[in-house]
């Protein structure tokens, strides 16, 4: 296993002028890399309704967390699209995994609901940091630019009314997603 990446190693968003951003953005980071390495309170799993692992981010999280994660997920009874459920992180550096089920295709209300449900679970369990992958943009086919807008706007609106999180990380796995988030956030 690779060494964990602490939040202190991930800078928050900076403006196009190279200065730290204020307000909501002072609590936001974009991290290009493996979400399973992040040492945050919770990482979000872009899961399907079965919540039993699979391909992409879902499979990577299950592999990194170990077999105990699958055993706990079997007890969840699945998860509806637009909803989220919480498990322990097991062998991950993150304490918890929030399994969020995004929509297949471009359905902004359901995608926003998956982000909000994840944030609500973090609040309910007293978590202070959370990392999101690009939910629904892989095999589920959500256009990355549109998904980024929904993700950022939903998290921003939620954080402005629920000032409980200290850090939100948007974890991207490829340079294209990184540029989409960097462009939208600055």
**Residues 96-147: tens digit of each pLDDT:** 999 999 999 999 999 999 999 999 999 999 999 999 999 999 889 999 999 9
pLDDT score for 168: 98
Pairing verdict, β 96-101 and 42-47: parallel
Measured between alpha carbons, how far is residue 104 from residues 44, 68, 186 in Å? 17, 28, 28
**Confidence band, pLDDT 50/70/90 cuts, at residue 1:** low
Q: Is the pLDDT score of 90 beyond 60?
A: yes
Q: What angle do CA 154, 155, 156 make, to 5 degrees?
A: 90
3-state helix, strand, coil in the chain (%, to 5): 40, 20, 40
Mean pLDDT of 63-88: 98
Nearest alpha carbon to residue 166 among 135, 126, 132, 134: 126
Q: Closest Cα partner for 3 from 37, 42, 40, 43?
A: 37
Give the confidence band of 19 by pLDDT, cuts at 50, 70, 90: confident
Q: Are 135 and 147 in contact (CB under 8 A)?
A: yes
The answer to whether 122 and 136 are in contact (CB under 8 A) is no
pLDDT in tens, 28-68: 999 999 999 999 999 999 999 999 998 889 999 999 999 99
Structure tokens at 70: 């699958």
Beta bridge partners of 127: none
pTM for this entry: 0.96
In whole angstroms, what is the distance from residue 72 CA to residue 68 CA?
6
Residues 95, 42 contacting (CB under 8 angstroms): yes
40: left (phi over 0), alpha (psi -120 to 50) or beta: beta
For tokens 């979000």, name the residue: 44
pLDDT band at 2; cut points 50, 70, 90:
confident
Which DSSP symbol is given to 143? -
Asked whether residue 73 carries a pLDDT value surpassing 80, the answer given is: yes
């Amino acid at each position: 296993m690779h060494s964990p990446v602490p939040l202190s190693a991930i800078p928050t968003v900076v403006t196009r002028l190279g200065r730290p951003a204020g307000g909501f953005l002072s609590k936001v980071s974009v991290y290009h890399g493996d979400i399973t390495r992040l040492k945050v309170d919770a990482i979000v799993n872009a899961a399907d309704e079965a919540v039993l692992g699979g391909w992409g981010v879902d499979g990577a999280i299950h592999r990194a967390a170990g077999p105990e994660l699958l055993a706990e997920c079997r007890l969840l009874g699945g998860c509806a699209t637009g909803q989220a459920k919480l498990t322990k992180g097991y062998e991950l550096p993150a304490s918890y995994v929030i399994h969020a089920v995004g929509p297949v295709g471009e359905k902004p209300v359901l995608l926003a609901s998956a982000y909000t449900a994840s944030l609500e679970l973090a609040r309910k369990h007293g978590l202070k940091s959370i990392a999101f992958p690009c939910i629904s943009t892989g095999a589920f086919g959500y256009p990355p630019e549109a998904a980024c807008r929904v993700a950022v706007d939903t998290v921003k609106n939620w954080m402005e009314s629920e000032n409980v999180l200290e850090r939100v990380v948007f974890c991207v796995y490829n340079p294209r997603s990184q540029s989409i988030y960097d462009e939208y956030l600055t």
